[in-house]
Structure 1
């Protein structure tokens, strides 16, 4: 069986728990401060703006449209194909320079060739606010469901440990988006929910090995059992993270703007999730006082 690490590796991960907790605390603090001062750069899905559907007589290159928009001072539009290469959906944030009466002039000035406006809609801030609220509820329900599931499968303290790791992953992932002011839209929300599931899967694999080893390994301390369990699952964790990252890098490079922020959020989340499943989740069990079975 293919393995990236030696089978009998015995690295002392828990010996690095203090530096790991300090690093995580710094990232969490910076993320929270960024939320408080800068907030998230909400995309049109969560704010107000215009949604425009255009139909052309011939195939159109959305890169040319995007470049033309940028030359005319519009840098944060979202443009993607709609069904065929002859139709596109354009999303533009609400701005004092853009009204329904002036968008036609802007489109005629920026786009070469004949086109027909199939749809021109204004998405109000109230709709964006409702989407934000539903997204927050989705994450809360996901975390509570995970707590119940792990509580039944393992025990309640394992569930608390998993939730601590997941909250850590979500806050830091969103913190990066806040610090760099990357656009946060529905695709990023989907990525955050996917990160929760991905990180949880990694954590459950480690927890399952910990539970098994607490029953079979009797002579070692609980910290030794945590280290043994992490080392035993390390190859699987690294391989899973690498293979998923390769797919996401391909999406980021070749997928275009429509999946750009989704891929970025997933890559950040996978990196943080892998780190937390090794250092944070297991350390949380130690801090919560879980003991090996006698």
Structure 2
């Protein structure tokens, strides 16, 4: 999301248990460097996709109120994005080009366009915990793990989705553009009383992606994960695991996911 010259994007660094907030673009002549600002916050000037950017690093973010504070800031600047929905093209190919050019992220499902949904502190904490749990167990060189910023396109369903966590297949020597990724796994967070009929169009759009192997649905409010997994014959099967002691074998990633790591911390009020 962009507001004038300021950028707001969250990225969790599991190695240092830090939340990185992209604050602003940096003039092209700015060298890659690090410096400390007032209050002890560290700003890293670096290059991302060839462009200079600044990242503010805040330590131990998962344990404090930082996620709530940043989400509140994001909501303050997000109102203008709603007005852009009316400008979205109806043609799917035109929509893909339009959406890729926007500062904000917009989803499309069954012809309806909306900006990427956010969430509260409990929602954000669950996503960060999942990302960290996967990242700490990661051993695959042919796949890459992404948090909250990767566009997933389902051409057959003419849908564009932004799942909170995505694992995509990588190919040596080539980086796919924004519309050509091959997702292996996507994860979503759903309320405990989620309307299954309302979830169906989203699941159908995911299942129409040939490369996708698994959809994880994390329940907000209690340790419960439901998944849809594609079997060897190409059919989608459903499973679930409940309780902090439960584990989910993610064969497509070559790891086992413990629910106590995903649901670490106090239960939401």
Aligning the two structures, in what range does the TM-score lie when normalised by the shorter sequence? under 0.3
Higher alpha-carbon Rg: 1
Q: Per residue, is there more strand in 1 or in 2?
A: 2
TM-score (norm 1): 0.23
